[in-house]
Amino acid sequence: MSYFSTARSRGVVVLAAAAVLAVGAGSGAVAGALITGADIKNGTIQSEDIDNGTIVSRDVANATLKVRDLTPSLRELIKDESAKGDKGDKGDKGDTGPQGPKGSDGTAAYAGPNWSVIDRNVIGNGDSYLRSGPTVGADIKPPMGIGSLGIRTGSPDDKASFGNQVDFAGKTLASISTVSFWEFTTGENRAKFVDNAASVSMEINPNKYNSGYSTLNYVVRNLPINTWSKVETADAGWYLTGAAGTGSGCNQVTYCTLAQVKAAMPDATLFTVQVGKGRDYAFSGAIDALQINSTTYDFEPFGVIEKTS
């Protein structure tokens, strides 16, 4: 029941009380006809003076009930209710606002599909995958962004490989002047061998030494454990496989600098640039921020971001 209905009922109480008093003070119907609401002081008849259910709204004529006939508490209730007002009708739909600027689809930042697992160079349980971390505590985190390239091998028979077989194809080895990357390794890796680490390599066509193919590898040495370390490759840590290694003298017996390799094969061209591990020791670690000349490749969980300085 609304506050107004309650107020109306209280008005009923006022008039009904008048009738009751008339019956008690006079002689029946005559006295009742002579007494009206004007004969009773406002607020003197209360709800407790009338039995519940004895008077209903139909006993009061429309518009005869006035606010002044109510007790102060009912007046206050009516005031609070009327202040709220009825809910208005729904307004008309507003005009459509101007179209916002087009968002980026993300393709401009990513190197695209050309960085991936190089399946023909994967053996056994060798695995490489884009991932978040590794992060240790508050201070040890990937050098770029939130992710890296995870690399894992399970045994000396496994080999993992992740690289780009498109963007570097046909470029000259002589055009490669700077190569570096960051690596995360562990005590478990080092316990198998002090130089047990993932690294960078380039598949090339030497155009010399009667060889149409060789892999140019860099050997990583003595990395700190459980942290990210930058690996520079300007030292004598490169060697070639196959006939190119034998003919150039840059092999697993005698390492060379990158400059020495390029001098030995001035016409060599690239097939791929890749990072990987194996076949030698079981390994689990990560690589990030691979730099080739002025371009850095940031390995993130959802792609490889190319940044040029």
Q: Are residues 119 and 72 in the same domain?
A: no
Its domain, for residue 15, covers 3-84
93 lies in some domain: no
What CATH code is carried by the domain that includes residue 284?
2.60.120
Are 234 and 181 members of one domain?
A: yes
Q: Verify that 124 and 32 share a domain, yes or no.
A: no
pTM score, whole prediction: 0.66
59 and 168 fall within a common domain: no
pLDDT in tens, 137-196: 989 999 999 999 999 999 999 999 999 999 999 999 999 999 999 999 999 999 999 999
- Mean pLDDT, the chain, whole residue set: 82
Q: How many domains does the chain have?
A: 2
- In which band, very low, low, confident or very high, does the pLDDT at 24 lie, cut at 50, 70 and 90? very low
Q: Among positive and negative, which fits the CA dihedral 145, 309, 161, 198?
A: negative
Which residues on adjacent β-strands are paired with residue 208? 211
Residue 89, in any domain of the structure: no
Q: Are 174 and 216 found together in one domain?
A: yes
Instruction: Please indicate, yes or no, whether residues 194 and 121 belong to a single structural domain of this protein.
Output: yes
Residues 107-127 pLDDT 10s: 445 556 799 999 999 999 999
Domain check: are 14 and 151 in the same one? Answer: no
pLDDT at 28: 45
Q: Based on the domain organization, do 173 and 258 belong to the same domain?
A: yes
What pLDDT sits at residue 113? 78
Look at residues 85, 133, 93 and name the one whose alpha carbon lies nearest to residue 299: 133
Inside any domain, residue 255: yes
